[in-house]
Chains A and B, each alone.
Chain A
Amino acid sequence: MSKIVRTVANQLMLFVLVFGLYVIVHGHVTPGGGFQGGAVIASGVVMLIVAFGSGQIKKSLRERRLSVVESSAALLFILVAFIGIGTVFFYNFLVGSRIFGDIPPTGTNPGNIWTGGVIPLMNVAVGLKVMAGLSAAVLALALFSGGEEIE
């Protein structure tokens, strides 16, 4: 792509990252969550691939590492689900504790980031997973259609 497109994509990627992280981290307070924020960041990676070409992106972003990040996030998700198995699988054991343990008042309230128990942790895990997984899949497909080697 032309230099204008590359420069604009370069500048825009920062805002895409910030917005995606905001959607992931505020998943339990505002609309959104891990899936949505991860998809936002992955679409930013797609924008970079379109602007710079897959060969250029390949130098700084490896699918193997993205795959490792995705698998680790999946393991973190299952681990957080397993910690609550004293009561039941996927038990929200952090509500009322010191970490993310505040309980919001019932009804309309301005929102508090330090609430939700295990929900923020799972949002971060799923966000990492979706971000890395979609980026890896799209990057692998782009490299394959470009005729380049995939390692």
Chain B
Amino acid sequence: MRQFFAWLFLVVLMVFLVIGGFKMVHPFGEPPSAMDQYIIDNSQEQAGSNNVVAAVVFDYRGFDTLGEATVLFAAVTGVMFVLRAGGKKEET
């Protein structure tokens, strides 16, 4: 019985959250902010790049790309470190 009420509570909570979430969704087609229109208008003369995505990734949001590169670097470092340690362990 207690489990039933717990499930009921969970379902009601989920329904409320989903309905609330759908009510807060932005209207389809409208830009959520003025930022994207600004980047589309100005990337060619400010960053000199026809590819707006490249301008965003490497110029407007360069820190994000730096983080991505760091993630890749950490992944490769981890792979090399772990596998090298395993290889040495087998030798002894």
Residues of chain A touching chain B, judged by Cβ–Cβ distance below 8 Å, are 27-31, 33, 35, 63, 67, 70-71, 74, 77-78, 81, 89-90, 92, 95-96, 100-107, 109, 111-112, 115-119, 122-123, 126, 129-130, 133-134, 136-137, 140-141, 143-144, 149-150
Contact = CB atoms under 8 A, between A and B. Distances in A.
Given A90-B59, A119-B58, A104 B53 contact: no
B83 A104 contact: no
Contact of A70 (B68, B73, B86): B73
13 contacts: A28-B48, A28-B55, A29-B51, A33-B54, A71-B73, A92-B46, A92-B47, A100-B48, A101-B48, A103-B44, A104-B50, A115-B49, A116-B49
B50 A74 contact: no
Contacts, number: 126
Interface of B: 41, 44-51, 53-55, 57-59, 62-63, 65-66, 68-69, 72-73, 75-76, 79-80, 83-84, 86-87, 91
